[in-house]
Amino acid sequence: MKFSTRTTYGLRALIKLSEKFGKNNVSLASISRDEHISLKYLEQIFSSLKKANLVKSEKGATGGYSLVKKPEEITIFEIIEILEKDMNLFRCIDQHGKVNCNFKCNCGATKVLINVQRAINDTLKGMSLKDLI
Amino acid sequence: MKFSTRTTYGLRALIKLSEKFGKNNVSLASISRDEHISLKYLEQIFSSLKKANLVKSEKGATGGYSLVKKPEEITIFEIIEILEKDMNLFRCIDQHGKVNCNFKCNCGATKVLINVQRAINDTLKGMSLKDLI
DNA sequence: AAAATACCTACTGTTTTAGTTGGTATTTAA
DNA sequence: TTAAATACCAACTAAAACAGTAGGTATTTT
């Protein structure tokens, strides 16, 4: 189990935006330089973040991205949910935490798996972007 | 982010063993039937679990697998650590929770990532196989 | 002797990942 | 008004990981 580079890079980039919250825009070019991340890849990541209404953008020479909400209002869970393509930790549990087993097995395992998923989610919901500055 | 089928199947199978702890061996054939998991795949999974000394086995007609420790002494973290091939959630953090960034960047991000990793690990360490029966 | 089990090694199709490539559109500053 | 800097968009691709399959051998009980 590993977070994708999308998620990792996204988190790192959002930390940059948090530091400049209420001040400047942050350009992807500057993040690319500072964090050694491919500019084109960052563009894709920020496309997702913008669609999810987590960041807003301005074009042009002084353009760039900024957070839509305060850092303390953005949870790590929220970010991961946007960037990670599949946040269902187990096959037999769907996005809403309900059992969705192919074989309609009546094993007790799904209960545990649901608890594991919930525990991790709660942990991530308890952490915000502010918890780092 | 998703747990591999190895981990998911392994957890489900270990639940079976927990139920029979102190009583019978559990054969992989019976798990395969009950849980609709490929027998050959289960064999691979249990090979890892045995190497890690989490289960022991007996051959022959009444053979099968059983837990080496009590269910309450086996944490979910322990199981996942064995079955999941890579438990480093982020690239820039190694197994021991230390920063290992290719570019030796001095960004503050790694601190957060370490906290995320630790929070999830602690959650999983707090759950045992017993928490389901 | 047969059946049931564990145990071992190698192979493989599919999917996902981690980007790359090649552009267009908009805004600012010289 | 032109150049530079930015965001924005869509398609492609090599490599790695995943999720098994295949074909056996070894041991123990009935």
Cα B129 to chain centroid, rounded: 10
Write out pLDDT tens, residues A86-123.
888 887 777 666 776 655 555 567 777 888 888 888 88
Domains and CATH numbers, chain B: 5-132 (1.10.10.10)
Q: What pLDDT shows up at residue A133?
A: 67
Q: Compute the mean pLDDT over every residue in chain A, rounded to the nearest whole number.
A: 89
Write out pLDDT tens, residues B2-29.
999 999 999 999 999 999 999 999 999 9
Please, are residues B112 and A88 in contact by the beta-carbon 8 Å criterion? no
Q: What is the 3-state secondary structure (H, E, C) of B45-81?
A: HHHHHHHCCCEEEECCCCCEEEECCCHHHCEHHHHHH
Chain D, protein-covered positions (CB within 7 A): 4-11, 17-23, 26-30
Any alpha helices (H) in A20-66, and if so which ranges? Answer: 28-35, 39-51
Gap from A132 CA to chain B (nearest CA, Å): 6
Task: Tell me how far apart the alpha carbons of residues A71 and A58 are, in angstroms, rounded to a whole number.
Answer: 19
Q: What pLDDT shows up at residue A109?
A: 72
> Which residue, chain included where needed, has tokens 């090979």?
B47
Q: What pLDDT shows up at residue A95?
A: 63
> Which residue, chain included where needed, has tokens 């549990």?
A93
More confident residue, A115 or B37: B37
Please, are residues A10 and A49 in contact by the beta-carbon 8 Å criterion? yes
Cα nearest neighbour of A17 on chain B: B109
Q: Which residue is nearest to nucleotide C6 (CA to C1')?
A: B59
Q: Does the pLDDT at position B105 exceed 70?
A: no
A63 CA → D11 C1’, Å: 26
- B59 residue type, one letter: K
Q: What pLDDT shows up at residue B102?
A: 56
Residue A123 CB contacts under 8 Å (≥ 6 apart), including other chains: B119, B120, B123
Please, are residues A9 and A41 in contact by the beta-carbon 8 Å criterion? yes
